[in-house]
Structures are given as structure tokens and as C-alpha cells.
Structure 1
């Protein structure tokens, strides 16, 4: 089994990247990273591609909404362009897999909602194939609130999606959703091509469960990889055919580049990446 390569989700440094795209990417390259995961890339694909090329970086994966009219984040909503527009931008940048990063929690509470999500992503996979691309889904914790006949909404979704639909498991959010994370990694098998490597003290309860208090990223206690509660080493060892170990912080605890460097060192020194 080959080891995954390291990457970093650009949402982690959204403020810095917006202010200075080239300088931010140069700092990531200086840390030792060779890959990033693009975020909010549809508006400026040519500019992002040029900055990546200048830094010697690639973006094999990218996050973009495929399943919603708007992509909700704790810090605001991003309008959803047509899938064809997303895939054309992805191809310009060199992204190979476009990953939907968030679907509204209410849609995960019913079997009909989960079926609709799966069917839409299956359809998106068909459209993406015409551009030579694949699609995937990235979880948070809302996918683990409801269950149907002993299956979590997430497990039902996986069962309903075509095998062409790839999976990116956020290890922190899966733990927040009450999952045995290494066991879930094993169960997903070869469809799991990427994980989000982040650590922290998980919230006391699932923040997307009905009736949960209002949630924002400023409430998160996230820490450098290997220093808190998420079973990162066990989860990475449990993966069958992982291609990307993607460093991410929803809320970096300190200087974002120092925090990224620390998580990269955890992956490198632990022998978790190629």
C-alpha cells in the first residue's frame, strides 16, 4: 500500500490567501508542501493556476458546492455556480477531483433527503466524467445525527452513491459526530481517497443536531495534529488506499503557517506520508 501525499486546504488560510495569494503559496512551498486543496476557486481559476505554477504547487483536489443552491459555512454563504462552470474552472486549475464540502444539516435528517443528496452527486459524477474529472463528498458532523434501520445517514449516503463518487473524511468532524473513526475509515475502503487531518478538543455535543446552540468557528478548540483527541495515527494506519492527507484548521490556534508546519511535521516525522 502506497502512502498518501500531504496537502493543505486553502480555507485554513483564507484570509492570508485573499490578501496575498502568491506569497501565501510560496510560504506553503517553503514548509515542504507540494499540494493544496483549492477552496472558492471558481471565480478566478486562471489566477489560481498561475499562482500555483509560480510556487511549484499543484491542486489535485478542490472544494466547490455541487449539491446546494448556496454553500453554507459558519462564516457566510457562497453562491453555487452551475456544475459545468465548476468543472471547467477545475480543469483549468488542474484539479482532478471536485469535492462538495457541505450540505445543509436539515437535508440529512430524512431518508428522502439523503436519497436526494446521493442521486444529485451521482448525476454530478456523470457530468464531471465529461470533463475528465471525478467528484467526492466531504463530511462535517451533521451526517451522523440521524439513522435509518441501524445505518447512519452518512452510511446510507455511501451505500446509495455510485462507486465513482469518492470520499474525503474529515477526522475531527467524524469524531464530533460520535464515530469510531478508525473503524469508519476501514469501512469506507478504497473509496476513501482523502482525509482531513486536524486535531482538537471535540465539542461536547454535535453542533448540528436539532436544537443545538448556535455554532461558529470561533467556538472551536482546534490544535496541532497529534496534540489532542482525534485518533489521527490510528485512522491513517486504517486507510486502505489513501491518496491525500489534507491538513486543515477550521480555526487555527496560532500563526496559521506555523500551525500548518507543525501538522506537516506530524505527518512527515510519523511516516504517514510519502
Structure 2
């Protein structure tokens, strides 16, 4: 199955805050037919109207589910909407999977920490099911860097999750933590429904604690993105994202879209050959 090319709207959120309809229109011009929602709880009707107007759907979206309050490295702070408010908005927007995008490093240091994160996400999954939705988790580097009982906190976390909880693997952050995607991705199996497509030069010290300023369009850096796409067995979405981009963000997104489109076409040719 060829994954759909998507975009995490966090990437262009500054433009969407200025003019939501115009920003979504630019994504449609690039060629997107689906996106991954961001900050959707308080703007679900307006976002849905803009997406509908330009022929774009959103089937996945990011929303905080584990913590009641958030203070993230990119400046997102404050009280988190309830699970019920989040899932009602997700349903209105047409989402199928709500993905928690960030749980800070201090909650991944011990078995008890990880058990708490998994329990909270499992509980969210049970509530989401009453709305006809699923939940998932999106990693950064710290879940892999933390070692508990001889393996990464991320691997322990996976064992503690209920089978219906989905995974979205950020290939950039996994690579920053030294993860071998060829070894990891097959073990994640069918619950891995999405990857984040993000690139940049390899250097020591890349960390969520200090978001990098040198990210590049997909295919122009050192992250093994093509290998990640080829190794995943049940991928539904390949989601372009930038944490930061020094140039024009829509130009960076366009370059990533073109690279990803070509890469997926090459994979299709390999399968059919």
C-alpha cells in the first residue's frame, strides 16, 4: 500500500493563523489532498470549512492526551483540553486517529514513569473508541535515549500499550537518537500507521531540548527517510514536517512534497517490477 502524502499543519501554523483559508489554499496548490491537523480543538469548524473548500481531508491530528498541562520546547504552554472536548472536535473535523505529539523527557526515565504514560494513553484510547476514534503516539529522541532495564524507554512503552493504540514514528528524531530503522520498524508491525518525514544534517547533540535550526527539505539531509518508508509494513501516511526552516516554509514544503512523491513512485515501481 502506498502511503498518502500528508503535512503536519504545525509546519505552516504561522501562516494559518494569519489567514487560514489562504494557507490551506497554498497547500492544495502544492498538491496535498490530506493533512495532519494541529491545534484543532478550538478551531475545528473553521479548519473543516477551509479544508473542505480546497478538497483536502484530515484523517490524523495531533493533540495532547497524556498530560493535563503542557510546556513544550517550542513554546506551547497551558492547560490541555479534556479528552472529551478533544475527541468531539476530532470527530467534527473528520479525524480517525488523534496522536499525542509530545511527552517530556522527565516522564521517560523510570519504569514507573513509562507505565504512567502508557496507562494514560490506554485510557484515552478507551474514551476515543466511544467516539469511533483511535489514538496514537508520536516520538521525539528522548524516548529512545532513556534506557530502562537494558532497553529503550520507547520499547518498554510499546509493550505496555494496548494493541489498538497506533504509532507515528518521527524518523528524524529516531535517527537523532541513533535508532536503526531497518531493525525497529518491522517490529512495530501494523500499529505503525504513519511516519514523519523530516530531514537535516547529521551532527552530535541533536535534541528536542534545543530544537535544531538547520532542518532541510526531505532528501537533502542525512536522515534515512527512503529506507524508513520502504521498511514500514503497513504505512498509511507519510507526513512532512519541519520544526523550523530558515527559508520560505512553503518552498521547503514544496521541495519535500516533490521528493516524497518521486520516492513513493520509485517504491511502487520496485514492487511492480
Deviations 1:228-254 (Å, cap 9, x if unpaired)? 110011110000000000000001231
Q: Which runs of 5+ in 1 are unaligned?
A: 209-214
**Structure 2: distance between partners of 1:37 and 1:238:** 22
Shift of 1:55: 1.2
Question: Which of 248, 251, 259 is matched with 1:258 structurally?
Answer: 251
Question: Residue 21 of structure 2 corresponds to which residue in structure 1?
Answer: 22
Deviations 1:53-96 (Å, cap 9, x if unpaired)? 11111110000000012233323214301101000000000011
TM-score, normalising length: structure 2: 0.94
1:63-212 mapped onto 2 (5 Å cutoff): 63-76=62-75, 77-205=77-205, 207=207
Is the CA contact 1:72–1:102 (under 8 Å) kept in the aligned structure 2? no
**Two-structure CA RMSD over aligned residues (Å):** 1.5
TM-score, normalising length: structure 1: 0.93
**Structure 1: distance between partners of 2:206 and 2:8:** 23
Is the CA contact 1:118–1:161 (under 8 Å) kept in the aligned structure 2? yes
Deviations 1:72-123 (Å, cap 9, x if unpaired)? 3323214301101000000000011000000011000111000010111111
**Structure 2: distance between partners of 1:271 and 1:64:** 28
Question: Residue 212 of structure 1 corresponds to which residue in structure 2?
Answer: none
* Paired residue secondary structure (2:264): coil
Shift of 1:203: 4.7
Does residue 33 of structure 1 match 2:26?
no
* Paired residue secondary structure (2:60): strand
Shift of 1:265: 0.7
**Structure 1: distance between partners of 2:71 and 2:62:** 13
**Structure 1: distance between partners of 2:83 and 2:198:** 29
Aligned residues: 266
Is the CA contact 1:199–1:229 (under 8 Å) kept in the aligned structure 2? yes
**Structure 2: distance between partners of 1:3 and 1:18:** 32
Deviations 1:174-228 (Å, cap 9, x if unpaired)? 01112112322222111100000010024512535xxxxxx443x4310011111
Does residue 270 of structure 1 match 2:263?
yes
**Structure 2: distance between partners of 1:264 and 1:206:** 24
Deviations 1:132-171 (Å, cap 9, x if unpaired)? 0000000011101222222200000001001100000000
Is the CA contact 1:6–1:246 (under 8 Å) kept in the aligned structure 2? yes
Shift of 1:270: 1.7
* Paired residue secondary structure (1:222): coil
**Structure 2: distance between partners of 1:194 and 1:271:** 14
